[in-house]
Amino acid sequence: MQKKKSSIGWRNENKHPSLSEVFSSVSVPKQKGIWKKLFAFTGPGLLIAVGYMDPGNWATDIAGGSQFGYMLLSVIFISNFFAIILQYLALKLGIVCERDLAQACRDHYPPFISFILWILCEISIAACDLAEIIGSVLALKLLFGIPITWGVLITVIDVLIILFFQYKGFRYVESVVAALIFTILVCFSFEIISSKPEIIPILKGIVPNPEIIKNSHSFYISIGILGATVMPHNLYLHSSIIQTRDYPRTTEGKKMAIKYATIDSTLSLSLAFFINAAILIISSATFHKAGYTEVSDIMDAHKLLNPILGSSLSGVFFALALLASGQNSTLTGTLAGQIVMEGFINIKFKPWIRRLITRLIAIVPAMIASIVYGEKGTTELLIISQIILSIQLSFAIVPLVNFTGDSEKMGPFVNGPILKISAWGITIIIILLNLFLLYNTLLGRR
């Protein structure tokens, strides 16, 4: 019997669209209007950019700025370039194959392998959720003086808030994310203006400096920035949510979708680069300049901002940005959890049940750490969550690069020779750096 076209290159035929409740729900204008089409495709990139500015990235950016000034800006820039390439592959997979990355793994690998990948991915999502909880909890303590333990419990409430916007429609979800990103942007713009950074050193910092590799400590922090940049759940998420657009499922329609989705993704990740760079710049212009070169903790950074900058608003804006970052990441983590569970094992829970399961898995260790160790314990958990994400990353990147480089699966949209080499090169670099980071972290070397 001849296979259907949709199943060419796959072990199984994909029977259900990704996120079926919002699949192809956002209209794309049929007429030739560049700006209208670009607006229609704007949104998924913002949800992806959230993963690159979550609380888990703050500590490395703060540490890098306080210890080495603007020197590690080049590392953030290179990391962002890697992210742009990998997210492009993710959106292309979703558009061309009409599968998210989880569905693609299920339809390519044997059931046992798919099950293992699903378990690993669930662990990484729980770890990511843990980082989001900690970010939100620390922000609530900084803004309102709410104890860490109570803050952990309060984070359960965001389940209801997220569900409210999910039921309203996918555009509402994207609007909430955009509003929170705008809040983060305003907060850090204020902080940058207040810190009065030096322009010339910033420009020099974007250019790679050999000293980064020569200095073992700066190299270690660079690996932390580079290795943990791409969030594994973002690759699953992007390959799914791009399918919410109602573009023609034809060759020409897919070309158009890839074009505008790539613009959306690249611009959104450029915004994420600005925010990550802003954290490092502020840390450099305040802590490094004032001689505080050992600041790596979010709480310590908050305590020092007000006296150094001489403004009580500095700490408020810092904490507000942290809260917005935590809530934003929570929202996208919810969607990623749903996509992964439905994609890998084809089981669909009600969104509130799925969200509650993920949140409870993350709340238990956060609650124990906050009760036994207080703020120090939550900070250590933040580091552990990033290590777990680093381990999982290769299990998401390798299938993605492999699928998009397969001409049988991708047809005319298969990665070209230069993109194939670049993608595998980036994959190998990230895997090696994450292994090095994991090895040294486990040995207690920094």
CATH code of the domain covering residue 243: 1.20.1740.10
- Tally the domains of the chain: 1
Q: pLDDT tens, 129-184?
A: 777 777 788 888 888 888 877 877 777 776 566 667 667 778 888 888 899 899 98
Q: Which is nearest to 118 in space by CA: 308, 285, 346, 424?
A: 346
Terminal Cα distance for the chain, rounded: 59
In a domain, 242, yes or no: yes
Q: Is 27 exposed, middle or buried (0-12, 13-18, 19+ CB in 10 A)?
A: exposed
Q: pLDDT tens, 395-416?
A: 899 999 999 999 999 999 999 9
Residue 366 pLDDT level (bands cut at 50, 70, 90)? low
Q: pLDDT tens, 270-286?
A: 999 998 899 899 989 98
Strand partners, 246: 27
In a domain, 1, yes or no: no
In a domain, 216, yes or no: yes
Reported pTM: 0.89
Q: pLDDT tens, 203-250?
A: 999 998 888 888 878 887 887 777 656 778 889 999 999 999 999 999
Q: 185: domain range? A: 21-442
**DSSP codes joined into one string, 93-128:** HHHHHS--HHHHHHHHS-HHHHHHHHHHHHHHHHHH
Strand partners, 27: 246
In a domain, 269, yes or no: yes
Residue pointed to by tokens 């309102």: 144
In a domain, 369, yes or no: yes
Q: pLDDT tens, 237-276?
A: 999 999 999 999 999 999 999 999 999 999 999 999 998 8
The helix/strand/coil state of 54 is coil
| Residues 6+ positions from 309 with CB-CB distance below 8 Å | 194, 195, 286
Q: pLDDT tens, 88-116?
A: 999 999 999 999 999 999 999 998 999 99
In a domain, 5, yes or no: no
Give the other-Cβ count within 10 Å of 212's Cβ.
Answer: 17
Strand partners, 26: 245
Q: Which is nearest to 260 in space by CA: 28, 68, 425?
A: 28
In a domain, 12, yes or no: no
